[in-house]
C-alpha cells in the first residue's frame, strides 16, 4: 500500500514538473481562492483584536453623552447639530438620581493651538473632572493627574498627551514648565502614556487635559458643556441604561414628547457595530470571490487532466497490459489532480501569509494567523482536486489496452 502511494505521488510530481507551464495555469485559480481566504481571515482577525484593544484603551462600560446631534457611522462620530443646553448641573443630577451610574465625568472639548517657546501645535483640549483619568484608563509616563481640589479651585494645570510632550520637550523634563494653551499660560503636571488613535478616530496623544472648571472660566468662558462620560455598574445593561438616561435628560430639560432630542447617547459598542458590519460585508464579498476562484481553478484542473489523459493513452495501455487495474488508473490520476490542487492551496497559504504581514506592518494591525481558515482552505482545495479529477480519471479506464497499443 505504502509502495503504491509513493508510486502515485512520484508520478504526480513528475507530471507536475514536466508540464509545469500548463499545471501552473491550472493551479492559479486555487492559489487566488486560498490566498484571499487566508489573507482576509488573518486580517479580519487582526481587526477584531485591534477593536478589542481600542475598547480597552477607551474604557469599558461607558455611555457617552454629547450635546447636539451625533451620527455614529464608520470609523468615529460626526457632529450634525450643536446645543448649549447641557450643563454641569445636569451631569451631577444624573449621577445622584440614576442607580447604576457609578461615575459621571463632564467634559468640554475643542481644538486650540498650544505653544511652547517657538513651537506651536494644534491639539485637542479637553476640560474634564479628575475622574476622567480613571474611567478612560489614561496612564502616565511621568508627573501626576490633577486633583478634585485643583478642579474646584479652577487651577490652570495640564496633563498632556505623549506627542505633545515629544514635540515640545523631547528629552527635556516638562513637569513644572508652562505652555500657552490658546492664550492662557498653563502648568504641565503630567504626561500620558502613548495611546494611539481611538475608535472615534481621535489621536489621543495630541490631547491636553485641563480641569473642567478652569477650562470653562479661563479658557472658553462658557456656562455649558459638550458632553459627559457615564461609567455604568458591572452587570447593568448598557442598552437599558441608555434608555433611562435618555428619558431622564428629556425630563430635566423639560422637553415635550414631540420635541427632538437636543443630545445624543452612544456607546463604544455602537461604533464597533458599524465596523463589524463593514467586516461582515467584506467577508461575504471575499467568500463570493473565493468561490468563483475555486470554480475557475477546478475547471482548469479538469481541462488539464482531460488533456493529460488523452496524451497518455500509451502509458495507460502499457500499465493495463502489465496488470494494473482500473482502480489503479483512477487512483493515479486522482492523486495527480489532488496534488495540483494542494500545491495551489499551499502556495495560496504562503502568499496569503505574506500579504497579512505586509498589511499588518503598514496599517499597524496586530498580526494574526487564523488557523481555521488555513485548514478549511486546504480541505476545500482537496475536494476541488477530487471533483475535478474524478471524471477524467474514469475516462482513462475506458481505453482498450490492445487497441491503444496497436494505435
What does pLDDT average to over the chain? 84
Closest by alpha carbon to 66, among 116, 9, 6, 106?
106
pLDDT for 79: 64
pLDDT for residue 56 is more than 70: no
d(CA 381, CA 373): 12
pLDDT for 159: 95
d(CA 2, CA 278): 49
Q: What is the DSSP string of 199-247?
A: TTS-BGGGEEEEEHHHIIIIII--S--SEEEEEEPTTS-HHHHHHHHHH
Across residues 251-256, what is the average pLDDT? 87
pLDDT for 314: 77
pLDDT digits (tens, 9 = 90+) for 157-188: 999 999 999 999 887 899 999 999 988 999 99
pLDDT for residue 102 is more than 70: yes
- pLDDT bracket for residue 213 (50, 70, 90): very high
Across residues 4-23, what is the average pLDDT? 73
pLDDT for residue 58 is more than 70: no
pLDDT for 401: 67
pLDDT digits (tens, 9 = 90+) for 347-375: 999 998 899 888 888 877 778 788 888 88
- pLDDT bracket for residue 144 (50, 70, 90): very high
CB 301 within 8 A of CB 27: yes
pLDDT for 225: 92
Lowest mean pLDDT of 22-36, 45-59, 357-371, name the range.
45-59
pLDDT for 148: 92
pLDDT for residue 76 is more than 60: no
Lowest mean pLDDT of 75-84, 191-200, 274-283, 386-395, name the range.
75-84
**Partner residues linked to 115 by β-bridges:** 120, 180
pLDDT for 57: 66
pLDDT for 165: 92
pLDDT for 128: 94
pLDDT for residue 70 is more than 90: no
pLDDT for 368: 79
pLDDT for 174: 92
d(CA 346, CA 323): 35
d(CA 172, CA 7): 72
pLDDT for residue 296 is more than 80: yes
Please give the model's pTM, rounded to 2 decimal places. Answer: 0.64
pLDDT for residue 44 is more than 70: yes
**Any residues with CB less than 8 A from the CB of 147 and at least 6 apart, and which?**
130
pLDDT for 266: 84
CB atoms within 10 A of CB 81: 12
CB 263 within 8 A of CB 87: no
- How far is C-alpha 359 from the chain's CA centre? 12
CB 28 within 8 A of CB 345: no
| In the block, residue with C-alpha cell 490520476 | 333
Percent of the chain at pLDDT exceeding 70: 91
pLDDT for 383: 92
pLDDT for residue 20 is more than 80: no
Phi, psi at 380, each rounded to 5°: -65, -40
Amino acid at each position: 500500500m505504502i509502495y503504491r502511494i509513493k508510486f502515485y505521488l512520484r508520478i504526480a510530481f513528475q507530471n507536475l514538473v514536466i508540464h509545469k507551464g500548463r499545471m501552473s495555469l491550472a493551479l492559479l485559480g486555487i492559489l487566488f481562492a486560498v490566498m484571499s481566504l487566508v489573507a482576509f481571515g488573518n486580517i479580519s482577525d487582526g481587526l477584531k483584536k485591534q477593536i478589542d484593544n481600542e475598547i480597552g484603551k477607551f474604557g469599558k462600560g461607558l455611555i457617552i453623552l454629547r450635546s447636539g446631534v451625533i451620527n455614529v457611522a464608520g470609523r468615529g462620530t460626526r457632529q450634525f447639530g450643536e446645543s448649549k443646553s447641557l450643563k454641569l448641573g445636569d451631569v451631577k443630577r444624573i449621577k445622584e438620581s440614576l442607580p447604576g451610574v457609578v461615575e459621571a465625568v463632564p467634559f468640554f472639548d475643542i481644538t486650540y493651538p498650544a505653544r511652547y517657546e517657538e513651537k506651536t501645535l494644534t491639539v485637542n483640549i479637553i476640560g474634564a473632572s479628575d475622574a476622567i483619568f480613571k474611567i478612560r484608563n489614561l496612564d502616565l509616563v511621568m508627573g501626576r493627574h490633577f486633583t478634585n481640589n485643583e478642579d474646584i479651585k479652577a487651577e490652570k494645570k495640564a496633563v498632556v498627551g505623549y506627542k505633545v510632550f515629544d514635540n515640545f520637550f523631547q528629552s527635556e523634563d516638562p513637569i513644572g514648565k508652562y505652555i500657552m494653551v490658546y492664550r492662557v499660560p498653563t502648568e504641565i503636571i503630567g504626561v500620558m502614556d502613548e495611546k494611539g488613535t481611538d475608535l472615534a478616530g481621535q489621536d489621543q496623544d495630541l490631547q491636553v487635559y485641563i480641569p473642567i472648571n478652569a477650562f470653562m472660566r479661563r479658557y472658553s468662558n462658557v456656562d455649558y458643556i459638550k458632553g459627559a462620560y457615564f461609567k455604568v455598574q458591572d452587570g447593568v445593561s448598557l442598552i437599558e441604561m441608555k434608555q433611562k438616561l435618555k428619558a431622564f435628560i428629556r425630563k430635566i430639560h423639560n422637553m415635550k414628547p414631540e420635541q427632538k432630542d437636543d443630545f445624543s447617547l452612544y456607546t463604544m459598542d455602537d461604533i464597533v457595530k458599524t465596523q463589524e458590519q463593514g467586516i461582515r460585508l467584506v467577508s461575504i464579498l471575499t467568500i463570493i470571490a473565493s468561490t468563483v476562484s475555486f470554480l475557475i481553478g477546478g475547471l482548469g484542473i479538469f481541462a488539464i487532466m482531460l488533456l493529460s489523459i488523452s496524451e497518455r493513452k500509451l502509458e495507460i495501455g502499457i500499465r493495463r497490459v502489465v496488470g494494473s487495474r482500473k482502480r489503479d488508473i483512477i487512483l493515479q490520476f486522482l492523486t495527480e489532480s489532488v496534488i495540483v490542487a494542494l500545491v495551489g492551496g499551499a502556495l495560496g497559504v504562503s502568499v496569503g501569509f505574506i500579504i497579512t504581514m505586509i498589511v499588518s506592518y503598514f496599517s499597524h494591525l496586530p498580526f494574526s494567523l487564523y488557523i481555521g481558515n488555513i485548514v478549511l482552505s486546504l480541505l476545500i482545495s482537496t475536494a476541488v482536486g477530487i471533483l475535478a479529477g474524478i471524471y477524467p480519471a474514469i475516462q482513462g479506464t475506458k481505453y482498450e489496452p490492445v487497441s491503444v497499443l496497436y494505435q
